[in-house]
Amino acid sequence: MGFKELFSKIKDAEEFKKFKKDNPDAFLYAAFFVISDKIEQKQLDFYKGNGKVETFIFNEDEKGKEILTVKTEDAVKQADISPIDEKIKIDIDKIEEIAKNEAEKEGLAVNKIIAILQNNNGNQIWNLTVLLPNMYMLRMHIDMDGNVIERKKGTVFDIVQKKDNNPSVA
């Protein structure tokens, strides 16, 4: 289930209809997917104002029954919250293909993909962290035309080292 299908299912859910009725100005600001051999996690985040986010997590139980979980959480810094357009040009299947192609350039296979659809400085992008064997990873930004506009290879230790040297870096 990609972003488009997920968004459609969530919009049809009674929980979402009530949420939109109670929060008519709320807007979609992020989509989050974790992908390995299948999509392990699917969630949409809506900013509802006053520093609060409503998160809709769509998963399956052990028997394959679809479950929608809704959580209210504190938002990230308000400066980081911008709406995204639900009408995207490329979805999870294409993102996964791009990630695998980029990993192949390194001679490595993809273990897991963490994909976030977000608005980054006015540009809607897929922000990917692609986990590779031996603690390697690729960090990529992919635009809505499927172009890799930023790509960095590193290790998990690079992130830990940056965090140790600069507490403001996540």
Summarised one tens digit per residue, pLDDT across range 126-149 is: 999 999 988 889 999 999 999 999
Q: Where are the alpha helices (DSSP H) in the chain?
A: 3-12, 14-22, 92-105, 156-165
Region 111-124: mean pLDDT is 92
Query: What's the mean per-residue pLDDT of the chain?
Result: 86
Question: What pLDDT does 161 receive?
Answer: 58
Residue 1 or 106, more confident: 106
Pick the CATH number of 88-170 from 1.10.760, 3.30.70, 2.30.29, 3.10.450: 3.10.450
pLDDT in tens, 22-48: 999 999 999 999 999 888 889 999 998
Element spanning 18, H or E: helix 14-22
CATH 3.10.450 domain residues, the chain? 88-170
The answer to whether residues 138 and 115 touch, using CB atoms and an 8 Å cutoff, is no
pTM of the shown model: 0.85
